[in-house]
Chains A and B, each alone.
Chain A
Amino acid sequence: MSAQTALMQEKAGRSGPDLNTQALHMDARRESLRLLALLSPSLLLVFAIIIVPIGWLFWLSLFDEAGAFSPANYARFFEQASYIKTFITTFKVAFIVTGACVLLGYPLAYMLSQLPRRAASICLIFVILPFWTSVLVRTYAWLVILQRKGLINSWLIDLGVISQPLSLANNFSGVVIGMTHILLPFLVLPLYASMKTIDTDCLRAGMNLGADPAATFRQIFFPLSLPGLASGVVIVFVLCLGFFVTPALMGGGKVIMWAMRMEQTTSLYSNWGAGAALGVVLLVVTLALLGLFQWLLGARATGVWSSR
C-alpha cells in the first residue's frame, strides 16, 4: 500500500529518486518486521517444541552413565559391529521400500489422474481407506497372509504351485511388503495431486507436433510430474528411516532397524544419552541425505528448464 504511495509520489516528482529509494527501502524493512511479528507466535512454538528438544537431545547424547562429558555414546557405534549393521539395514530397507513404492505408486497415480473424476474419487477411497486403519492392525493382517500357514502359502500349496511353504514373513521380505503397503499412500497422494495439475494442453500440443503417446509421456508428462514424485519419495524415505512397528513384528527379530535399536539401547543403558546419540546420528544423516537430494533435484530441475 505505502509502496504504491511512494511510487505515486515519485511519478508526481514531488521528491527526488534517492529519497524515494530510501523510503521504499524503509518500507520494505518495516513490512518484513511486521510479518516477523505476525509469525513470532508460530516461530516461538516451533522453537519450543522442535529446536529446544533437539538441542537437548544433542546435549544429552554427550554424557555417559555417570553424567560425565564423554564421547562414549558415539564410540559405541564403532565398538559394536551390530550398530553399523543396523544402520546399513535401515537404509537398505528405506531404499528398497521407496523403490517399491515408486514402482507401484507411479502407475497407480497415473491411472487415477487419467480416470474421469467420479471413477478417480472412488479409486482414491481404496487408496485412502487402509490409510485410516491402524498400522498395527495392517501389520498383523500381513502376518496372517504371509506366514508359513498363512493364506498365500496355503493357496499355493493347495493349487500345487509349490510343495514347501515360502518364507514370506519373519524376514526381510516380510518387512518390505508390510512397509510398502503402509507407505504407498504417502507417495500416491502427493503424486496424484501434482499429476492433476499438469496442463493437458501441453500434452495435446506435443501430440499435435507429431510426438507419439510414449514420447509425449516421456518428454512432457513425466518431467512435469517429477516435483510431485520427489515430494512423495522424500516423505516415504524419511518415514521409512524411523519405522518401528512393522519391522519389529514382520522381521522376526532378524531385521533390526534404527528405531528398534534406539529402544533397545535406551532400555539397556541406564542413560538417556545412549539412545539420544542414535537419534542424533539418524537426524544428521537424514538431513544430509535430504540436502543431497534437494541439490540433485535442483540440478535436474534446471536441466529440464534449460532443455526447453
Chain B
Amino acid sequence: MNRTRSVSIVAMAGLMASLAAPAMAGDTITVASWGGTYQDAQTKAFFKPTADALGITIKEDTTNGLDDVRLQVTGNAVKWDITELGADECARGSKEGLFEKLDYGIIDKSGINPKLVHDDWVGISYTSVVLIYRTDVFGDKGPKTWADFWNVEKFPGRRALSGSQATETLSVAALAEGIPIDKVYPVDIDGALKSVDKIRGHIDAWWTSGAQAMQLVKDGEVDMASIWNGRAGTLKKEGAPVSFSFDQGVLTADCMVIPKGSKNKEAAMKALAMFVSPQLQANLPLYVDNGPVNEKAFETGKIPQDRIKDINSAPENVKKQVLQDAKFWRDNLVEATEKFNNLIQQ
C-alpha cells in the first residue's frame, strides 16, 4: 500500500516536472543522413553540439535518399524532422512539394552560396568529384585534366567513371571537351553524351558506389578514375600510391530539408539553423573531407591553416571547380540519365 503510493507520487512529480519544463528543452528530433564515417563526423560536428546548446535530444537515422522521404511524406508516416539529400534531390523534392518551408528569420543564410539557399532546402556540405590516378603507373606525370583522361594515346591504362551518377559524369565529359569551368552550365547534354561516347569503349568499369570506386583504384583494377574526394583522401591516408587535385573538380552540394508533416518543425528549424552556422560548419572538416557549405566557417579560425588547402570548399579550391547546378538537373536529370544509360549499356 505504502509502496504503491510512493511510486505514484514519484510518477506524479515526474509528470509535473515534464509539464513545467520549457517547450524547447526535452524536445526530441530525428535527423537522417548517409551513415558511415560521414554521419559520424556530422554527429561530432553538428548534432552533439546542437543538442547540447538547445537542450534537445537528437536521434539519428540513415537515409537512402529522396525515395525514402517521398515514401514517408506521401504515406503520411513522417519519421524524420530533418534529413540530408543530394542537392538535385532537394530540387526535385521541392518541385514535388515534399518539404516544409524554411524560416530564414531563424536560419542565417549569410555565407552560403545563394544557389544553395531555397524556400524549402538549404545546402549543408560539399563533395567533389576529382580525377585520381595511380602514381605507381604514371609517376607524377599522370592525367591532370579530364582532357588527359579522355586522351587514351598519351595516357594508356585502365579507366573507371561513375555509371550511377550520370550528372557528375556528364559534367566531367563536358570538361573533357575543353569547355571552361564557368561555361559548363547549362550542360549541353547531347554534346556531353557525344564526349562520353568517345571514351566509353575505353572504360573498364562504371562504378555505382563510392566504395566500389575506391576498391577499383586501390586494387589496381584501374589506373585512373573519377572518384569522390572523401574516398580519394582516404586512399591517400591509407598509403595507396595515388594522386589527385581539385583542378577541374565537380563540386556537388548536399542539402538538408524538413520533410512535410514533421511533428517537431520548430525544434528542427532551430537545429538546422545551428547546423549551417559558421561555428558548427567549421567543425566538419576537422572530422571528414566534406567541406563546409558556409564560407564564413573559414573565418572562424577553428580550421588549421595547413588543413584549409585540402578542403574542397575552401575559397581557393572552389575557384578551380565547377559547381553542379541543382536546378538544371532538377529539370534535366531524368532525360539525361536515360540517355546516358542507353549509351553506356550498349
Residues of B within 8 A of A85 (CB): 345-346
Interface positions of B from 324 to 346, Cβ below 8 Å from A? 333-334, 337-338, 341-342, 344-346
| A82:B342 contact, CB within 8 angstroms | yes
B96 touches A252 (CB 8 A): no
Docked-complex contact B219 and A268, CB < 8 angstroms: no
Q: Which A129-170 residues have a C-beta within 8 angstroms of B? A: 143-144, 147-150, 167, 169-170
Q: Given A252-B206, A253-B207, do A270 and B342 touch, yes or no (CB 8 Å)?
A: no
Pair B345/A256 contact, Cβ less than 8 Å: yes
Identity of the chain B residue whose Cβ is nearest the Cβ of A254 in the assembled complex = B206
Flag the segment in B41-49, B65-73, B237-245, B252-260 that touches A: B65-73
Q: How far is the CB of A229 from chain B (nearest CB, A)?
A: 34
**B221 and A147: CB pair below 8 A?**
yes
- Indicate if A121 sits at the interface (CB-CB under 8 A): no
- Are the CB atoms of A253 and B67 closer together than 8 Å? no
Q: Which residues of A contact B215 (CB under 8 A)?
A: 143
Closest CB-CB distance, B305 to chain A, in whole Å?
39
Over the window 213-241 of chain B, the binary record of Cβ atoms lying under 8 Å from chain A Cβ atoms (1 yes, 0 no) is: 00110011100000000000000000000
A81 sits at the interface (CB 8 A): yes
Question: What is the CA–CA distance of A204 and B205 in the complex, to the nearest angstrom?
Answer: 55
Collect the chain B residues with CB atoms within 8 Å of residue A147's CB. 219, 221
Q: A267–B345 contact, CB under 8 A?
A: no
In the bound complex, CA of A256 to CA of B158 (Å): 20
**Cβ-defined contact, A267 with B221, below 8 A:** no
> Are A253 and B344 in touch, CB under 8 angstroms?
yes
Contact B67 A267 (CB under 8 A): yes
Q: Tell me whether B205 and A266 are in contact (CB under 8 A).
A: no
| A contact residues, total (Cβ < 8 Å) | 26
Total B residues in contact with A, Cβ cutoff 8 Å = 30
Residues of the A chain whose Cβ atoms lie less than 8 Å from the Cβ of B338:
80, 82, 268
Interface: A269 (CB within 8 A): yes
**B212 and A81 contacting across the interface, CB-CB below 8 Å:** no
Check: A248 CB closer than 8 A to any chain B CB.
yes
Known: A253-B205, A270-B96. Contact between A149 and B341, CB under 8 A? no
Residue B163 is within 8 A (CB to CB) of chain A in the complex: yes
- List the B side residues contacting A170 at CB < 8 Å: 204-205, 216, 221
Complex: chain A residue closest to B163, CB-CB: A253
Between A and B, how many residue pairs show CB distances below 8 Å?
Answer: 64
Residue numbers in B under 8 Å from A82 (CB-CB):
338, 341-342, 345-346
A266 and B341 in contact, given A148-B220, A149-B219, A149-B220 (Cβ under 8 angstroms): no
- B96: A residues at CB distance < 8 A: 270
Chain B residues with CB under 8 Å of A264's CB are 164, 341
Whether a CB of chain B sits under 8 angstroms from the CB of A86 is yes
Closest chain B residue, CB of each to CB of A270: B96
| Contact B345 A249, beta carbon cutoff 8 Å | no
Which residue from chain A places its CB closest to the CB of B95 in the assembled complex? Answer: A270
Interface residues of A in 3-31 (CB under 8 A from B): none
Q: Does B270 contact A (CB under 8 A)?
A: no
Q: Does B37 contact A (CB under 8 A)?
A: no
Q: Are B158 and A148 in contact, with the CB atoms below 8 A?
A: yes
B333 CB contacts on chain A under 8 angstroms: 268
Residues in chain B near residue A81, CB distance under 8 A: 342
In the complex, the answer to whether A253 meets B206 with C-beta atoms within 8 Å is yes
Contacts of A148 in B (CB 8 A): 158, 219-221
Nearest-Cβ distance from residue B72 to partner chain A, whole angstroms = 14
| Chain A neighbourhood of B207, CB < 8 A | 253
Contact partners of B67 in chain A: CB under 8 A: 266-267
Q: Which residues of chain B are near A169, meaning CB under 8 Å?
A: 221
Instruction: Give min CB distance, B62 to chain A, whole Å.
Output: 16
Shortest Cβ distance from A167 into B: residue: B204
With A147-B219, A149-B220, A264-B341 known to touch, is A269 a contact of B334 (CB < 8 Å)?
yes
A288 smallest CB distance to B (angstroms): 25
| Complex Cα spacing A82 to B212, Å | 23
State the Cβ distance, B48 to closest chain A Cβ, in Å: 31
Q: CA–CA, A253 to B165, complex, Å?
A: 12
Closest to B207 in A: A253
Closest to A249 in B: B212
Tell whether, in the assembled complex, residue A253 and residue B219 are in contact, meaning their CB atoms are under 8 Å apart.
Answer: no
The answer to whether B204 touches A252 (Cβ under 8 A) is yes
**A248 nearest CB across to chain B (Å):** 6
- Bound Cα distance A22, B168 (Å): 77
B92 an interface residue at 8 Å Cβ cutoff?
yes
CB of B208 within 8 Å of the partner chain? yes
Mask for B48-83, Cβ within 8 A of A = 1, else 0?
A: 000000000000000001110010000000000000
**A55 CB, nearest partner CB in chain B, Å:** 19
Query: Chain A residues near B344 (CB, 8 Å)?
Result: 253-254
Q: What residues of chain A lie closer than 8 Å to B158, measured between beta carbons? A: 148
Quick one: which of B92, B216, B219, B346 contacts A270, CB cutoff 8 A? B92
In contact, B219 and A86 (Cβ under 8 angstroms):
no
Query: What residues of chain B lie closer than 8 Å to A268, measured between beta carbons?
Result: 333-334, 337-338
CA distance A248 to B70 in the complex (A): 25
Chain A residues within an 8 Å CB radius of B66:
267, 270
The one of A149, A269, A270 in contact with B221, judged by C-beta atoms closer than 8 angstroms, is: A149
Query: Which residues of B pack against A, CB within 8 Å?
Result: 65-67, 70, 92, 96, 158, 160, 163-164, 204-208, 212, 215-216, 219-221, 333-334, 337-338, 341-342, 344-346
14 A-B residue pairs with CB within 8 Å: A82-B345, A149-B219, A248-B208, A253-B208, A253-B344, A254-B206, A254-B345, A256-B341, A267-B65, A267-B67, A268-B334, A268-B337, A270-B66, A270-B92
**Which 10 A-B residue pairs are closest in the complex by CB-CB distance?**
A253-B206, A252-B205, A253-B163, A82-B342, A170-B205, A149-B220, A82-B345, A147-B221, A82-B341, A148-B221
| Given A252-B205, A267-B65, A268-B337; 20 other pairs, CB 8 A cutoff | A80-B338, A80-B341, A81-B342, A82-B345, A85-B345, A148-B220, A148-B221, A149-B220, A170-B216, A170-B221, A249-B212, A252-B206, A253-B206, A264-B164, A267-B66, A268-B333, A268-B334, A268-B338, A270-B70, A270-B96
